[in-house]
Structure 1
Amino acid sequence: MKHAPTFPTTATEPLAGEPTPSALGFSMPAEFATHAACWMLWPQRPDTWRYGAKPAQQAFVDVAVAIAESETVFVGVNDEQYENARNQLPAHIRVVELSSNDAWMRDVGPTFITHPDGRLAMVDWEFNAWGGLKEGLYFPWDKDKRIRCKISEMLGIQRFEAPLVLEGGAIHVDGEGTLITTEECLLNPNRNPEMSRATIEHWLQEYLGVSHIIWLPRGCYLDETDGHVDNLCCFIAPGHVALTWCEDEQDPQSAICREALRVLENATDAQGRRLTIHKLPQPGPLHIADDEASGIDRLNSSHPRLPGDRMAGSYVNFYISNSVIVMPLLDPRYDEKAKGILSRLFPTKRVIGVTAREILLGGGNIHCITQQQPRV
């Protein structure tokens, strides 16, 4: 992939003497804590989404409507798509003009943090489009880099600029001091090549208020995000995680799942608890069909999407809202089984399945296009 030079891809140290969020008492709540709202972005990029993003837009509408059953939903839209989005989305979903390069709010949006005194703030990570000039998924990413600053001004909250290239999908926390991530992503030289594991752990602790980090070796097979943990494993409650699981030992995903299981079985969280692991079946394997690869602009500056390419489908890529779980429907062979497991894991919430293949064709899924704003 060829790119022209653009923004720097490495972060800088905080100003000397400037306190970090952790030093001020802020920390990141778990996704299963109560939300005030959910933030999303509107898909329109023609080299990511086929046929002018019309099929993907319908899937995004379905996700927004499902989440809006239990919390306020904001959808950020580029000016040229504002009227279209406003007409497609129900009136109770808030449409705001918020320009972006693509629609992955989990990764380009803020990581919200809270303070015991009731304050809300955010972490503004460095963003380099999942790999920078040589390995990133698209170019440019200038609008994406401004999203966090804009949301902080819209909400009137403090924004902490972190000295770390990181996307929101690369981390999950339990809200009690534990963070889970993958070596494949955060130790990838296309993110923070000048930083050691210890340095990365230090900044995660300082900006998210965590004290214990669990490192899984790899993310899902052929995940173009370089192994985001939110496609493989997530916290569903203190001491409990959901893990995607592949029974077929001939599938490369099987070894990844078993590696992760070994780490999780031998891990404890920040409170000293052993983890309870709940397996979700892997859909597929899923591949891009010939007709699904058509209608996409082919640009040298973006990740190609070709017929036969395997997609990193996972039922772990669901969203936990206040009263519903919004999960992707990806494979009729496994959809109901996955839905049943999630219903048992979240007995007080209603599980809503959304047909999500169009989102997966763009490279992610429901968790990837959402970002929770905690209630304070």
Structure 2
Amino acid sequence: MSTPAADGFRMPGEWEPHARCWMAWPVRGETFPNGLEAARLAYAEVAKAIAQFEPVTMVCPDGEVASVSLAVGKDVAVMPISISDSWIRDNGPSFVKNPATGEVAGVDWQFNAWGRNYDAFEPDTLVARQILDRLKLRRYEAPLVMEGGSFHVDGQGTLLTTEECLLNPNRNPHLSKAEIEGHLRDQLGVTSFIWLGQGYEQDETDGHIDEIATLIRPGLVLAMTTDDTADPNYPVFQDNLERLAMARDAAGRELEVVTLRTPARREQAGVRLTLSYTNFYLANGGVVMPLFEDAADDEAIRTFKKLFPDRQIVPVPALDIVRGGGGIHCITQQQPA
């Protein structure tokens, strides 16, 4: 069976032009302790913010098309498909593109609800297939349990990820690190790997990279830090910064690293919320970034304006998304132009 890389495909960097952004409407009540209504309002605000810059399609169950259309407004398209959760970065397709022909295709990862954190996730194993079928795009079925939020690429051969997630025995216990790298080369067209260690404390995704670090452009990484040496994240973030300092990308470049400090600790039912500014969406000409009603928000906005001088920065309240276990990056998926 052929692979994307063998057929000339690669996954573009998120800063490359998009045809569309995909999102999925909140439907699982147990995911959002503040209630579905609060989550839906937050998702709608993100969709409207992104729609200023590029087309957005919100997928939802068949019977909810009318109500979702009213909630997201006329500038957001709504598509009925079967879903059981609303983290399309993880259960939707990872889009790849053939630079020579311009053809776009999709990688359909095996999805097991973040190591079987939730039951009744079967509809989400079919989300990528349903979207790619609707788009009439080529679909590659990957032999790997993965989520799109567990890696970043620079579109030039480099992949950034964490050992905590990709080497977790609740994903691919039968595969070695080298074997996992081989599958990622085949599916995403990458050649070089930067492995960080652990992710955000008590992150139910087991260390998704989009909570702790992201590639802004080739050679430039934005990473979360904390000055609080008593914070369990402190040694984790320090180790990740040391790894980034030693790393080289696929082009052999040293990485420039910009840091942002985490907001003050908040918990929900005794579990720490993953409050992260690296969990944002990079749109055509814009950046939709999270706000957490924290003193660190202002510093984050200033940093984003410096990092993206040619893009409009749109801050959006994100606490009601984070209470569900993810962030703005987790609920979005870019489709390359």
- TM (norm. structure 1) is 0.88
CA RMSD of the aligned region, Å? Answer: 0.9
Partner of 1:120: 104
**1:20-61 per-position Cα deviation (integer Å, ceiling 9, x unaligned):** 111111000011111110000001211112464001111001
Alignment correspondent of 2:243: 263
Residue 185 of structure 1 and its aligned partner are, at CA, apart by 0.2
Which residue of the partner structure matches residue 8 of structure 2? 25
How far residue 331 of structure 1 moved from its aligned partner, in angstroms, is 3.4
Residue number among 176, 197, 207 corresponding to 2:177 in the alignment = 197
**Shift of the alpha carbon at 1:90?**
1.1
Q: Is 1:338 matched with 2:300? A: yes
Alignment of 1:66-215 (within 5 A): 66-116=49-99, 117-131=101-115, 136-215=116-195
1:35 and 2:15 aligned: no
Q: Residues 48 and 75 of structure 2 are in contact (CA less than 8 Å); yes or no, is this contact kept in structure 1?
A: no
Task: Give the secondary-structure state (helix, strand or coil) at the position aligned to 1:362.
Answer: coil
Say which of 48, 52, 68 aligns to 2:31.
48
The reply to whether residue 309 of structure 1 matches residue 271 of structure 2 is yes
Indicate whether 1:368 and 2:326 are aligned: no
2:217 to 212, 224, 237: 237
Structure 2 counterpart of 1:183, one-letter code: E
Matches within 5 A, 1:273-292: 273-288=253-268
- Alpha carbons 1:182, 1:216 under 8 Å: kept: yes
Instruction: State the alpha-carbon separation in 1 of the partners of residues 34 and 67 from structure 2.
Output: 15
Q: Helix, strand or coil for the counterpart of 1:369? A: coil
Contact 1:44 1:52 in 2 (8 A): no
CA contact (8 A) 2:34 2:320 kept: no
**In the TM superposition, what whole-angstrom CA distance separates every residue of 1:105-128 from its partner, at most 9, and x where no partner exists?**
000000000002110001001000
Query: Which digits, 9 at most, give the CA deviation of each residue in 1:321-340, with x for residues without a partner?
Result: 11111111013211111011
Aligned partner (choices 268, 284, 294) of residue 322 of structure 1 = 284
Displacement of 1:158 in angstroms is 0.3
Deviation at 1:82, TM superposition (A): 2.1
Q: TM-score, normalised by structure 2?
A: 0.98
Task: Report deviation, 1:350.
Answer: 1.0
Tell me if the contact between 2:212 and 2:223 (Cα under 8 Å) persists in the aligned partners: yes
User: Identity across aligned pairs (percent)?
Assistant: 44
* 2:262–2:275 contact (8 Å) kept in structure 1: yes
**Alignment partners' CA distance in 1, 2:165 and 2:118:** 17
Partner of 2:40: 57
Q: Which amino acid aligns with 1:74?
A: T
What SS does the corresponding residue of 2:335 show, helix, strand or coil? strand
Any conservation in 2 of the 1:284–1:331 contact (CA below 8 Å)? no
1:373, distance to aligned residue in structure 2 (A):
0.4
What is the alpha-carbon distance in structure 1 between the residues aligned to residue 311 and residue 266 of structure 2?
28
Q: Give the counterpart of 1:353 among 302, 315, 321.
A: 315
SS class of match (2:171)? coil
Q: Can you list the C-alpha shifts for 1:64-106, whole angstroms capped at 9, x where unaligned?
A: 0110011000000112322221111111100110221110000
Aligned length: 336
Give me the whole-angstrom Cα distance separating, in 2, the residues matched to 1:99 and 1:64.
Answer: 20
**Structure 2 counterpart SS, 1:160:** strand
- The answer for unaligned runs of 5 or more in structure 2 is none
CA distance in 1, matches of 2:222, 2:34: 34
